[in-house]
Amino acid sequence: MSERRAGPENRGKRILITGATGYIGRRLKDRLLREPGLSLRLLVRNRAKVRPEVRHRVEIVEGDTFQKEALAQAASGIDTAFYLIHSMGTKGDFSGLDRKSAENFRTACIAAGVKRIIYLGGLGVRQTASKHLLSRIETGEILAAEPEKIQTIWFRAGVIIGSGSASFEIIRNLTEKLPCMLTPRWVTTKTEPVGVADVISYLAAAIDLDARGNLVVDIGCGQLSFQEMMLGAAKAMGLRRILIPVPFLTPRLSSYWLTLFTPVPFAVAAALVEGLKSETIVQNDNARRHFPQIRPMSYEEAVQAAIREIAENQVLSRWCDSSAGALCDIKDQDTLAQAILRDCRCLDFGEIPAERIFASACAIGGRQGWFTYTFLWRLRGLIDKMAGGYGLNRGRRDLSALRVGDALDFWKVADLKPGQRLLLLAQMKVPGRAWLEFTISGHTLTQTAHFYPKGVWGRLYWYAVLPLHHLVFRDLLNKIVARAAGGEGGEQI
């Protein structure tokens, strides 16, 4: 893998990144921030999801691709615009939304005089494409529909291997958890993985690509089946695994299996399985011809890099960073005021430094657990998973640091004011809307569970779990303070 160096040709280029709070967009934004002379603008649905230290280094336009004014503002004065968004995960007609979104984007870019759109879609061909892949193909076709007015460089990637990518998390979890596995037919279908660092290198290098007209660039590091990827990952992790192919595992059954043993929910698992039913391999050699300076890592190297990032607590982005919906999932934290049921507890933490208390509160969840009544948290996680939710499997991106938008088990960080406030929005299956809030004022830590019940079931749920809440929430507050007193807890950014 070779990194692109910033050349003088970059100076003064104005770049728009859409999807900058998603898996690929976050990493691209971090890479481009390291390149001198580029000026970056981000179109995001919630500016709070951009880390505070990044906010003053980029221009932010808040809005989405369905808002024409926001799009016009985002595209104005831009040379190159990255299109790294999709509506998958939206209930209903996600393909229709994606078509509209791409059309709006192309129209706004043309009107603003943008010279180049760079898009990342999926590998595969129309004839055998799954519903999700078809939508990615349609998006590329729409973006590239007016080549005389705007150039489109359309990258197509298959399985992306990187810390936090959905496919890698599936491979890693299955490989780590199951020494022996019955495997369905689709695991032998050929696909073409690629390391996430190489994907970012291609996208970044396309800013300066000297080419006219539209271009489709298929990227990958060699053909492999899912089975070969699992065995390759096992080897990279120093494990021996046995896979036994069987004819009777239907895609639906496999999706349930993935849901149970990996962090991804059913919808993501089903999309992946559906996508792997037909071959998704590189169809052209444009990557080698136009980007000879990039030599993609092998699959094993990509796995090792991903494992290293996880071990070193250096995961930049994860599949669950984005909202997987037509709206940003943490946009409406103000509705907290609607909550009509509350469990509020305060504790005076005396002379313990407030920043230690806050860091301790920010260290909850993930591998460290919830400090107390672990079995009850696990049980709630299992119930959630069985009901089609995330359960506790998403864990945390980072052992101690949090940022707005981070998934934290079945919660999402909705607000973070260092030293003052941590607000978690519940993403577990629950009959209503729920939040867990920690605030520090003077020497007092306040922990509040807020609940906005949906109808009678919501109220019944709240009163049914009240005794459990009493145990869990009382102890959680005490444990957060006790850990801070003992010097435990982590650094918070």
Ligand X SMILES: NC(=O)c1ccc[n+]([C@@H]2O[C@H](COP(=O)([O-])OP(=O)(O)OC[C@H]3O[C@@H](n4cnc5c(N)ncnc54)[C@H](OP(=O)(O)O)[C@@H]3O)[C@@H](O)[C@H]2O)c1
Q: Which two tokens stand for residue 376?
A: 């009850």
Q: Give me the residue whose beta carbon is nearest to ligand X.
A: 22
Q: Which is nearer to ligand X, 166 or 414 (CB)?
A: 166
Question: From CA 361, how far away is CA 95, in angstroms rounded?
Answer: 40
d(CA 372, CA 381): 14
Q: How far apart are CA 186 and CA 159, in angstroms?
A: 14
**Range in contact with ligand X (rule: CB under 6 A) among 23-31, 289-297, 337-345, 386-394:** 23-31
Shorter beta-carbon distance to ligand X: residue 163 or 448 = 163
Name residue 244's amino acid: I
Residue 175 is a binding residue for ligand X (CB under 6 A): no
- Taking the complex as a whole, the smallest distance from the CB of residue 235 to ligand X amounts, in Å, to 22
Smallest gap from residue 255 Cβ to ligand X (A): 17
**Span near ligand X by CB under 6 A; candidates 34-42, 165-173, 243-251, 440-448:** 165-173
Which residue, 10 or 322, has its beta carbon nearer to ligand X?
322
Nearer to ligand X, 105 or 462 (CB): 105
Instruction: Specify whether the CB–CB gap between 282 and 193 falls below 8 A.
Output: no
Is 280 a binding residue for ligand X by CB under 6 A? The answer is no
Judged by DSSP in three states, 116 sits in: strand
Query: What minimum distance in Å lies between the beta carbon of 71 and ligand X?
Result: 9
Nearer to ligand X, 76 or 368 (CB): 76
Using alpha carbons, select from 118, 120, 175, 128 the residue that is nearest to residue 151: 118
Minimum gap (Å) between residue 329 Cβ and ligand X: 7
In angstroms, what is the minimal distance from the CB of 208 to ligand X?
21
Nearer to ligand X, 326 or 354 (CB): 326
Contact of 484 with 349, CB cutoff 8 Å: yes
Binding of ligand X at residue 65 (CB under 6 A)? yes
Interatomic CA distance for residues 198 and 220, integer angstroms: 9
Both tokens of 172, joined, read: 């890693």
For 458-481, letters b (16+ CB in 10 Å) and e give: bbebbeebeeebeebbbbbbebbb
Which CB, 159 or 481, lies closer to ligand X? Answer: 159
Closest CA to 233 of 181, 283, 306, 166: 306
Smallest gap from Cβ 187 to ligand X, in A, equals 18
Minimum CB distance to ligand X, residue 120 (Å): 4
CB under 6 A: which stretch of 5-13, 162-170, 415-423, 466-474 binds ligand X? 162-170
Residue among 328, 357, 434, 484 that touches ligand X (CB under 6 A) = 328
Whose structure tokens read 């603003």? 112
Tokens 């893998």 sit at which residue?
Answer: 1
CB atoms within 10 A of CB 238: 6
Alpha-carbon distance values, 408 to 132, 145, 395 (Å): 27, 40, 5
Pairing of strands 151-157, 224-225: unpaired
Which residues, listed in sequence order, are joined to residue 41 by a DSSP beta bridge? 16, 59
Q: At what angle do helices 299-311 and 166-177 cross, to 10 degrees?
A: 80
**Residue among 167, 201, 255, 360 that touches ligand X (CB under 6 A):** 167
Q: How far is the CB of 414 from ligand X (least distance, A)?
A: 12
Stretch that binds ligand X, among 61-69, 335-343, 366-374, 442-450 (CB under 6 A): 61-69
Alpha-carbon distance 292 to 142, whole Å? 28
Q: Any idea which residue has 């260290």 for tokens? A: 363
Q: Binders of ligand X: how many residues, by CB under 6 A?
A: 32
Mark 100-139 with x for binding to ligand X (rule: CB under 6 A) and - for no binding.
Answer: -x------------------xxx-------------x---
The answer to whether 18 contacts ligand X (rule: CB under 6 A) is yes
Q: Does the protein bind ligand X through residue 214 (CB under 6 A)?
A: no
* Contact status: 286 vs ligand X (CB under 6 A): no
DSSP 8-class letter at 197: H
Which of 13, 23, 377, 412 forms a contact with ligand X (CB under 6 A)? 23
Query: DSSP readout, 23-92?
Result: HHHHHHHHHHHTSTTEEEEEEES-GGGS-HHHHTTSEEEE--TT-HHHHHHHHTT-SEEEE----TT-SS
Given candidates 42, 160, 203, 362, which one binds ligand X under the rule CB under 6 A?
A: 160
Q: CB 378 → ligand X: shortest distance, Å? A: 27
Q: Which stretch binds ligand X (CB under 6 A): 160-168, 332-340, 431-439, 449-457?
A: 160-168
Q: How far is the CB of 366 from ligand X (least distance, A)?
A: 19
Exposure string over 379-405, b if 16+ CB within 10 A, otherwise e: ebbeebbeeebbbbbbbbbbebbbbbb
Nearer to ligand X, 45 or 483 (CB): 45
Query: Does residue 323 belong to the site contacting ligand X (CB under 6 A)?
Result: yes
Q: Which of 64, 198, 228, 398 binds ligand X (CB under 6 A)?
A: 64
Of 63-71, 234-242, 362-370, 471-479, which segment contacts ligand X by CB under 6 A? 63-71
Query: Where do contacts with ligand X occur on this chain (CB under 6 A)?
Result: 18-19, 21-25, 43, 45-46, 49, 64-66, 84-87, 101, 120-122, 136, 157, 160, 165-167, 321-323, 328
